[in-house]
Structure 1
Amino acid sequence: MVLLLGAYAAFIIALLFAELREKRSAQILLKPLAALGFLFLALNFGALDSSYGRLILGGLIACAFGDVFLLSRNRTSLFRLGMLAFAVGHVFYIFAANEILRPDTSYLFISLTTFLGLGTGVVTFWKLKPKLPRDMVWPVGLYTLIISAMLIRSMQTDMTGLHLLILPAALLFAISDIFVARDRFVTPSPKNAWVITPLYFGAQALFALSVLQA
């Protein structure tokens, strides 16, 4: 396991420096390889052995497609396809979380986690909306709602064994999405990769690891 994670981390570091230096040819090679890396991790950790694991694998596959679509920084159509792929990935993670919900959840806990998840989404969208092109307002709003649902469900899971990794994975994924939006609509800069790349690929690795005791 250590060797696998070490090799995966090496790909992520190489990709990060390619993005910081704006080496497009290196990014086109390394990003799909990194995406294949988290798929390989999940399969190696037994993703096919449980319904939870298969749902996580479905989310990882969708995100891998999203990575490929977002390799282009100039075509709006590919960016939309990337958003769709990542939205599908989030939905898979929501259904995976439904497989491992804590059995004794109180109405107070449900209300609190729902408030935290929706509140985070509303504040994020409110801050971002003035920067959005008109034709991107509703897609980004819907995407933000799906992220909020993923956060809510991840907070309501049983947190037993390595299932507890689904919450930090969801949080890292959400934060990386915020910085993707920042890079796309607010302040485009290669420096955003300092946050986006390690948090996003770290999140996918945590999702993959969470299947070990599923």
Structure 2
Amino acid sequence: MIPEDLKVSLTRDQTIRLVPFFATWLMYYLLYMPITGYPPETLGSVFFKLLPMAGLVFYIISASLDFKGFPTAKTWIPKDHRQRNFLFGMMASAVGDACLVWRNTLFIPGLLAFAVGHVFYFVGLEQCGKNSRTRELFILLGIDVFLFFQPAFNSYVMTALVALYVSLIFSMAWRATAWYESDGSKSSMAGCAGALLFVLSDGLIAIDKWYVPLPFVGSMVMSTYFGAQLCLAVSTTRDLK
């Protein structure tokens, strides 16, 4: 049984706006996610991989409109600081998604696109609580993670890029944790869960790429990744219960 304080209840309108995400997520898994390994490196795989992200973009825009009506050309950019930056973070992540279909040849462009996404998420969380008792913990975790993977890098460029990326994702995770710590709302809980799932998903990619092949790695990575983005999108809901 899930404790009441950890449950999230969505209204009918909120649930309906998530239908495109769940429908396209299932479609992507059925068509392009093998039980083991990664999806094929094809344009079709890119297209169906981006559909769930488009569904989450639609949800964030709908949340900015309080789920009244549908987005128009004049209302697709939210006025709210967090919603706007999370929207841009999702769009940058979608670019990274497309690049990582070709996970070897376009790994660095994908890494940079996700780094930009984390910058937007971090900025979006800027007003959500700056003080946290976990800040030093995330600093130490980030340093430990980088030092763990650093011997596997074969160039100074990759070392610098991963150092940058680790600092950004752990900074974003810290800020999301600080938000939940200071606010305690269901929205902040969803944001914190999304940030931590993002760290887990990227950790699985790194272990599989630089240390040891993991069984069912594609399914594990995409499940935690889409779960992370779902939680971050849901956290933009103002009246989340």
**TM-score normalized with structure 2 length:** 0.76
Q: Percent identity?
A: 29
The amino acid across from 1:147 in the alignment is I
Unaligned runs of 5+ in 2: 1-13, 65-76
> SS of the residue aligned with 2:134?
helix
> SS of the residue aligned with 1:45?
helix
Cα distance change, pair 73–191 in 1 and its aligned pair in 2 (3 A):
same
Unaligned runs of 5+ in 1: none
Q: CA deviation at 1:161?
A: 4.5
Of 153, 166, 185, which aligns to 1:144? 166
Matched, 1:43 2:65: no
- What does 1:4-19 correspond to in 2, within 5 Å? 4-17=17-30, 18-19=32-33
Of 213, 218, 224, which aligns to 1:199? 224
Q: CA deviation at 1:146?
A: 0.9
Cα distance change, pair 136–53 in 1 and its aligned pair in 2 (3 A):
same
2:188, 2:148 → 1: CA distance?
Answer: 32
Of 114, 135, 142, which aligns to 1:114? 135
1:119, 1:15 → 2: CA distance?
Answer: 37
**TM-score normalized with structure 1 length:** 0.85
The amino acid across from 1:162 in the alignment is S
Larger mean Cα displacement after TM superposition, 154-163 or 28-37? 154-163
Does the 8 Å CA contact 2:176/2:188 hold for their aligned counterparts?
Answer: no
Alignment partner, residue 116 of structure 2: 88
- What does 1:60-99 correspond to in 2, within 5 Å? 60-75=90-105, 78-99=106-127
1:91, 1:62 → 2: CA distance?
Answer: 10
The amino acid across from 1:96 in the alignment is G
Alignment partner, residue 8 of structure 2: none
1:184, 1:208 → 2: CA distance?
Answer: 28
How big is the alpha-carbon RMSD for the aligned residues of Structure 1 and Structure 2? 2.2
Of 169, 172, 180, which aligns to 2:197? 172
Cα distance change, pair 184–191 in 1 and its aligned pair in 2 (3 A):
same
2:201, 2:211 → 1: CA distance?
Answer: 14
The number of aligned residues is 205
Runs of 4 or more consecutive aligned structure 1 residues displaced over 4 Å after TM superposition: none
Alignment partner, residue 3 of structure 2: none
Does the 8 Å CA contact 2:39/2:101 hold for their aligned counterparts?
Answer: no
Q: CA deviation at 1:193?
A: 1.9
Q: CA deviation at 1:23?
A: 5.0
Greater RCO (CA < 8 Å, at least 6 residues apart): 1
